[in-house]
Each structure stands twice: as structure tokens, then as C-alpha cells.
Structure 1
Amino acid sequence: MTTQSAPSLMVIGFDRPDEAAGFLAAAVRMQRHARLRMHDAVILERDAAGRPKVRQTQDVTPGRGALGGALWGLLIGYLLGGPAGSLAGGLLAALGGALLGRLLDTGIKRGKARALCGDLPPGTAALAVQLTHVATDTLARELARFPNAWLVETDLPDPAATTLRTVLRPAGERH
């Protein structure tokens, strides 16, 4: 098992978005069996027209923060100020939750995710995973199930990066 203290980034490209989701499920399984530790994961897609789509899987998004804030604000506002307090509390907490979701980007940064998405060929997808403590043998076995996957980018330590380069096709080799 390769162990490092700071999280590293591994970005694997796939011909289809469902393959990226399939590898995310495999990574979750690996984490459950203590074969890696994920800190964040993002599914990146570019449709056939080249439009990017970034799906965060771990971070609080502004929409999720606003919804959570609004629900708590409505409840607390109602308890403290009745119906008028409920509306004011819900509105203020929703704004605060949205702002918190916007500012609190602890994993793969939004700008980095957008840049990676822009590097993908149209009609493809990728999974970007920020991780530590990866078992390279298990990683190689899981990636072998995706024969058309390619390495987009990684800053994993040498043993794990070498495994990725051995198992995955080079980025320039698309069929």
C-alpha cells in the first residue's frame, strides 16, 4: 500500500460518463475495504458539443448549502420569532448557506475541475479523485475492468503512478 500524508490527485479518462461513475463505485468499494482513502471525487464530462459538466460528489455546493440553511433558518426563525421570524430566518440562513458552499471548497478546487474538464475530448468523461493510502495492486485490478480508460493526470507517488501508467493506455491513444 502506497502511503502519503498529503492527498494526491488521480484523474482517469473514460469514453462514457457511466464508466466514470462505475469506477467511482469501485473506488468507494476500495475505500470501504481500506484499500484507499478518498478525500474528494468529481465526475467531469464533456458532451458531444463540447459543453463541460462538473459533478461534485463530496463538497457542499452553493445549492445544497442554501437548501440546508433555508430549512434550518425556517425552523429556528419560527421558534424564535413566529411566522415573520421564520421567513427572515429562512432567507438569511439560505444566503449564508449558499455563501458557505461557495467559499468552502476543501477538496478538488472548482477551477482545477473546470480546467480538467476543458482538457477532455468531446463526448468523454473523467473521474478526478483526491486520495491518500492507495493499495496499488487493488487499484490495478479495478482499473483493468476499464480497458479503454486513460490517464489524464496524476501526482501520486512513483509506485502508484507507475502502476497507473502500466495499466492505462496513454492519453493520446483514443480509438
Structure 2
Amino acid sequence: MSDLIVVGFDRPDEATAALTECKKLEKEYLLDLEDAVVVVRGPDGKLHLQQSVNLEKVGASYGLFSGGFWGALVGLLCLNPLAGFVAGSIVGAGAGAIAGKMSDYGIDDNFIKSLGGTIPPNTSALFVLVRKSQPDKVLTDLAQFKGHARVLQTSLSPADEGKLRAALGQMAAPAA
């Protein structure tokens, strides 16, 4: 089962830096991310979401290849495979992009927007869905953000949440 961790940062660029660090840890097989989203709240209060997985591009790519294949196959039956390939690719890419835009993977977008709306202007937050990790090594690495980050929400056990808060320089969970 995956764990959701949401960490708020004092500056707009810090959540992106933390995600870059998480991606580095993932390459070292210390962290396995299912999904990650950076939320930046600009000085005007507007939310900007940066998804780690662009489903629109993935859908368009899949649709392009799938549509091209089927279009060429149908075109071959009609003695014009090139026209079938082109038409199938165009239709497939468009349909794939629409399907990708309408789908939601990982962390629920409505949850991201509602919690992201609570962070102050000119700050950021990192939402990560973690499949598994090496907690001791990850917490040691994330200690570089100590004093600049605060845990906003987690689905971790109280003991693990306490370790994360300690690594980020927080003493205890805020009272509800």
C-alpha cells in the first residue's frame, strides 16, 4: 500500500528542488514513487500544478502508434496503406490526448487543489505517493530542507510521521 506525504515549503522553487532530490533517490533505488505533484501558489494566489506524469502526452503517443498501426492495416485492405497510416495516426493521437487529459492517475486532483489552496501565496508544496522506501537513508537526505519545510499531511504511521517531522525540523504534529 502506498503512503501519501504532503510537505509545504517556504519558497516557490523549493518543492521542485525536493522533487528533484526524490527523483535522484529513486534512481538510487532508495525510493519508489507512484506519483508526485508540485503545487506552487503564486504571489497572486493562483495555484499552478506540475504533474510528474503528463498523461496527455502519454495518451497522445500511445494513440499515435496504435492509430497508425490500425490505420495502415485498414488502408492496406483498401489498397492505400499510407493514407490509412496518416489518418489513423492523426485520429489516434487526438483520441489518446483527450483520453489522457480526462484521466486521473495517482493522487486525486481535487484533493491536491483543495489542500494546495490552503498554502500561503508565494510558497509551494510537494505531494508524493510513495510505494516503498528506505526510510533512514531518505530522511537523512531530505534533512537538507530542515527549517524550510513542514509536513502538511501524511498517511504514515504516527512513529514514521514523527521521524519525518524531526528530519524536517518540526517538533510535533500541530493540534487539530
Q: The TM-score by the shorter chain falls in which range?
A: 0.7 to 0.9
Following TM superposition, by how much is the alpha carbon of 1:72 offset from its aligned partner in structure 2, in angstroms? 4.9
When Rg is computed on C-alpha atoms for both structures, the one with the higher figure is 2
Following TM superposition, by how much is the alpha carbon of 1:114 offset from its aligned partner in structure 2, in angstroms? 1.7
Alpha carbons 1:134, 1:160 under 8 Å: kept: no
Question: Take 2:72 and 2:140, find their aligned partners in 1: how far apart are those partners?
Answer: 54
Return 5+ residue gaps in structure 1 as ranges: 1-5
Give 3-state SS (helix, strand or coil) of 2:133's partner.
Answer: coil
The answer to which of 96-105 and 14-23 deviates more is 96-105
**Percent of aligned positions with the same letter in both sequences?**
33
Alpha carbons 1:11, 1:126 under 8 Å: kept: yes
Following TM superposition, by how much is the alpha carbon of 1:31 offset from its aligned partner in structure 2, in angstroms? 2.4
Normalised TM-score (structure 1): 0.78
1:15 aligns with 2:15: no
1:121 aligns with 2:116: no
Give 3-state SS (helix, strand or coil) of 1:144's partner.
Answer: helix
Following TM superposition, by how much is the alpha carbon of 1:76 offset from its aligned partner in structure 2, in angstroms? 5.1
Normalised TM-score (structure 2): 0.78
What is the match of residue 88 of structure 1? Answer: 87
Alpha carbons 1:143, 1:167 under 8 Å: kept: yes
What is the match of residue 100 of structure 2? Answer: 101
Question: Take 2:132 and 2:64, find their aligned partners in 1: how far apart are those partners?
Answer: 37
Following TM superposition, by how much is the alpha carbon of 1:67 offset from its aligned partner in structure 2, in angstroms? 4.9
The answer to which of 128-137 and 49-58 deviates more is 128-137
Alpha carbons 1:54, 1:117 under 8 Å: kept: no
Following TM superposition, by how much is the alpha carbon of 1:73 offset from its aligned partner in structure 2, in angstroms? 2.9
Question: Take 2:24 and 2:83, find their aligned partners in 1: how far apart are those partners?
Answer: 47
Return 5+ residue gaps in structure 2 as ranges: 76-80
For each residue in 1:150-169, what CA deviation from the matched residue of structure 2 results, as whole angstroms up to 9, or x when unmatched? 11111112332111222334
Inter-CA distance 29–159: structure 2 relative to 1 (3 Å threshold): farther
- Aligned match for 1:24, one of 19, 28, 51: 19
The number of residues matched between the two structures is: 166
Give 3-state SS (helix, strand or coil) of 2:40's partner.
Answer: strand
Following TM superposition, by how much is the alpha carbon of 1:44 offset from its aligned partner in structure 2, in angstroms? 0.9
Following TM superposition, by how much is the alpha carbon of 1:37 offset from its aligned partner in structure 2, in angstroms? 1.7
2:60 maps to a residue whose letter is A
For each residue in 1:77-98, what CA deviation from the matched residue of structure 2 results, as whole angstroms up to 9, or x when unmatched? 3564245434531342123212
Q: Please, what is the CA RMSD of the aligned residues?
A: 2.6
What is the match of residue 163 of structure 2? Answer: 163
